[in-house]
Amino acid sequence: MSFAFAVTGTQGSARAADFTTPRGVVRTPCFMPVGTRGTVKGITPRELREAGSQIILANTFHLHLRPGEELIERLGGLHAFMGYDGPILTDSGGFQVFSLTDLRKLREEGVAFKSPIDGADCFLSPEIATGIQRALGANIIMAFDECPPATMEGAALRESTERTLRWLERCLSVGLKPHQCMFPIVQGGMDAALRVESARRTLAIKGDAVGYAVGGLAVGEPKDVTYRMLEASIAELPANKPRYMMGIGTPLDLIMAVDRGVDMFDCVLPTRNARNARVFVPGGGLNLRNAEHRDNPSPIMEGCDCYACKSGFSRAYLHHLHKSDEMLGGILASIHNIRYLIRMCEEMRAAILGGKWEEFKASAKVA
Amino acid sequence: MSFAFAVTGTQGSARAADFTTPRGVVRTPCFMPVGTRGTVKGITPRELREAGSQIILANTFHLHLRPGEELIERLGGLHAFMGYDGPILTDSGGFQVFSLTDLRKLREEGVAFKSPIDGADCFLSPEIATGIQRALGANIIMAFDECPPATMEGAALRESTERTLRWLERCLSVGLKPHQCMFPIVQGGMDAALRVESARRTLAIKGDAVGYAVGGLAVGEPKDVTYRMLEASIAELPANKPRYMMGIGTPLDLIMAVDRGVDMFDCVLPTRNARNARVFVPGGGLNLRNAEHRDNPSPIMEGCDCYACKSGFSRAYLHHLHKSDEMLGGILASIHNIRYLIRMCEEMRAAILGGKWEEFKASAKVA
């Protein structure tokens, strides 16, 4: 068995675990940097590793459109293609397709859409999305799900949630390569009962999955709703399997999710924000473009062990780089933000293993 | 004496030398990467060092406009500001000001121009340009010269060349910091006799300069003219001082200049080309955006020891990155191009010291 999951410590619902994959052990809680098009924007694989990255995410939707999974498979798979030897998780493309509200048409068979690159007619289905991920060579493949908007409710939401279950069965009909596994995704919109039902029926379809994901959250709903829906989604999931909450997040999101039993996260926020000069610091964030940083000799964050901070690059220098639209501004800020979230996961893990989770939560400076 | 220059080997006019600076010894021939705004675009100082960079160039014009030399001086100087501990050479801003043909007004006192950032009225003179470089903390400061266009001739060219000499005397009237020196610049346009005269009169004004530069070449004139003007400029310069040819270049330019006795070079070409997907390979260059690279599993150059090539990033991956406008495409191509030119300098040095310069020239695959 090339995948295994061993919980090594718990504090309430929060847990620390060792998630064994064919590309190495992932120590959780774990933040996965997002490499949308086969590159975490602006960062070399070496810098990613130095930032403590254990596993990264890549996007099926984008890689399918360009350069295409056939090419990547022929060149030895996504690991070889992008020079990253750790485990890779690919999303199914569902989230991106459903974001194309004007460009897509949903049928039971799948989703037809226009390529945002060249307008070409494209089609994704459970079988196609799984086949693409298999060809990419991802270690963790996500089921192709429907991602309803936060506002969907009633019969439409039930139909959407049931479609995701029907699609899961079709995803599972596609054979994977030996070093691959598939995570089903719990949906159910902003309806707690439907989320519980989605989780139960997901387990009925695939009780022996390597891990399970919670999707369709952090899509615009209030935070308290996010957390309630997360709790409903997770309550039924087995304790001995990794739980991946998709698309978060902020330092606060990570703590709230870990506190509810989540093990894995991904989000474009740290790198997207970084390219816009916004960086994480204890207590919140700051925008390096603001004039207050113009002549500040301090690093982004005192004591931070990221390459940017420990090398002594000042806020003043980063302010200058961002004001001048120099690439290095986004590069250094991205390295900092990724390291910030990964270090926070390391600290959460240490707190859980050390029996100090409540103290960690109480003292965490997040916003 | 914090600067020294020792020629350690010659072959014809070509020479290898150790140029001691207060920030370390520069082994020549030497290519200096250009960090226009206090950053070599897209590359961290660590990656620069790994590429073999011994000394870099920064631009007085750009740093004066933003963030301003006063700020940089207050923060500990340019080395601290940009996190580069090796020697730094700054140009005088002359080249940039004279490139603003529509925005500037030349007087004997100096050059008035509009800031390309915000249209503000600016003024550079020999004293001001030298003062800016002193404040930046550069180790090698360039004299503020007039850079005539390649088409200037006759009385206008003589007047321009003489103005550069008068301006040199004014530059020299500004006191420098202990770890700094100034290189005068030989001008004279495309008139060989005037170049000889410029060199002679430069030496008459400042015979004990640490080094000398040749400016105003590679500004659009044919290659054979460049080389003839270079020969005329260099003939009178002392053999025991470094010679810096400004603004070249290509692999071919480097070999032709070293063959004529040049020790130092700078050019934005390797990084600017890299951001446009154009990379150096033996025999010339290639454009990674071209469809022929779409599924090529080879690195940019077999056997290259740059981070991009030795890490195994394929031309196919780089093609994908550049087609997708991903930052990493420009980053990896920049690292390759800088390493390519620096390695070529290392090879030229070894050939000169090993008595194999003629063989090197005969076998060099350049275009």
Considering only alpha carbons, which residue of chain A is nearest residue B83?
A313
The verdict on a CB contact (< 8 Å) between B81 and A326 is: no
For the cut 80, the answer to whether the pLDDT of residue A308 exceeds it is yes
pLDDT of residue A61: 95
What Å distances lie between residue A211 and A33, A198, A260, B168, CA to CA? 19, 15, 16, 72
Q: Is A320 on the interface with B (CB under 8 A)?
A: yes
- Contact residues on chain A for B334, CB-CB shorter than 8 A: none
- Contact residues on chain A for B317, CB-CB shorter than 8 A: 38, 75, 81-83
pLDDT of residue B247: 94
Q: How far is CA A119 from the centre of its chain?
A: 27
Give the span between the Cα atoms of B186 and B174, in whole angstroms: 19
Quick one: average pLDDT of B135-147? 97
pLDDT of residue A100: 85
What Å distances lie between residue A1 and A16, A20, A205, A237, CA to CA? 21, 10, 21, 21
The verdict on a CB contact (< 8 Å) between B327 and A332 is: no
pLDDT band at B217 (very low <50, low <70, confident <90, very high): very high
**What stretch(es) of chain A map to CATH 3.20.20.105?**
39-239
The verdict on a CB contact (< 8 Å) between B39 and A328 is: yes
Residues of B taking part in catalysis? 91, 266
Q: Is A68 on the interface with B (CB under 8 A)?
A: no
The verdict on a CB contact (< 8 Å) between A327 and B294 is: no
Quick one: average pLDDT of B123-141? 98
The verdict on a CB contact (< 8 Å) between B83 and A38 is: no
Top-tier CATH class for B4-266: alpha beta
Tell me if B145 sits within 8 A of B167, measured CB to CB.
yes
Tell me if A300 sits within 8 A of A284, measured CB to CB.
no
For the cut 90, the answer to whether the pLDDT of residue A98 exceeds it is no
The verdict on a CB contact (< 8 Å) between B41 and A328 is: yes
Tens-place pLDDT, residues A139-182? 999 999 999 999 999 999 999 999 999 999 999 999 999 999 99
In 3D space, the residue among A244, A247, A182, A241 whose CA is nearest the CA of residue A216 turns out to be A247
Share of chain A above pLDDT 90, in %: 95
For the cut 90, the answer to whether the pLDDT of residue A318 exceeds it is yes
Q: Which of B66, B80, B320 sits opposite A320 (nearest CB)?
A: B66
pLDDT of residue B1: 61
The verdict on a CB contact (< 8 Å) between B83 and A313 is: yes
pLDDT of residue A1: 60
Quick one: average pLDDT of B16-35? 98
Q: Is A289 on the interface with B (CB under 8 A)?
A: no
Tens-place pLDDT, residues A209-237? 999 999 999 999 999 999 999 999 999 99
For the cut 80, the answer to whether the pLDDT of residue B102 exceeds it is no
Share of chain B above pLDDT 70, in %: 99
**What stretch(es) of chain B map to CATH 3.20.20.105?**
4-266
ipTM confidence score? 0.97
Q: Is A117 on the interface with B (CB under 8 A)?
A: no
Give the span between the Cα atoms of A230 and A216, in whole angstroms: 10
pLDDT of residue B101: 75
With H, G, I as helix, E, B as strand and everything else as coil, classify residue A333: helix
Tens-place pLDDT, residues A291-304? 999 999 999 999 99
Q: Is A239 on the interface with B (CB under 8 A)?
A: no
Looking at chain A, list the stretches that DSSP marks H as alpha helix, in order from N- to C-terminal side.
45-50, 60-65, 69-74, 78-82, 94-99, 126-136, 154-172, 192-205, 223-235, 251-259, 269-275, 307-310, 315-323, 327-353, 357-363
CATH 3.20.20.105 correct for A39-239: yes
Q: Is B104 on the interface with A (CB under 8 A)?
A: no
Q: Is B156 on the interface with A (CB under 8 A)?
A: no
pTM above 0.95, yes or no: yes
Looking at B236-314, list the stretches that DSSP marks H as alpha helix, in order from N- to C-terminal side.
251-259, 269-275, 307-310
Tens-place pLDDT, residues B155-197? 999 999 999 999 999 999 999 999 999 999 999 999 999 999 9
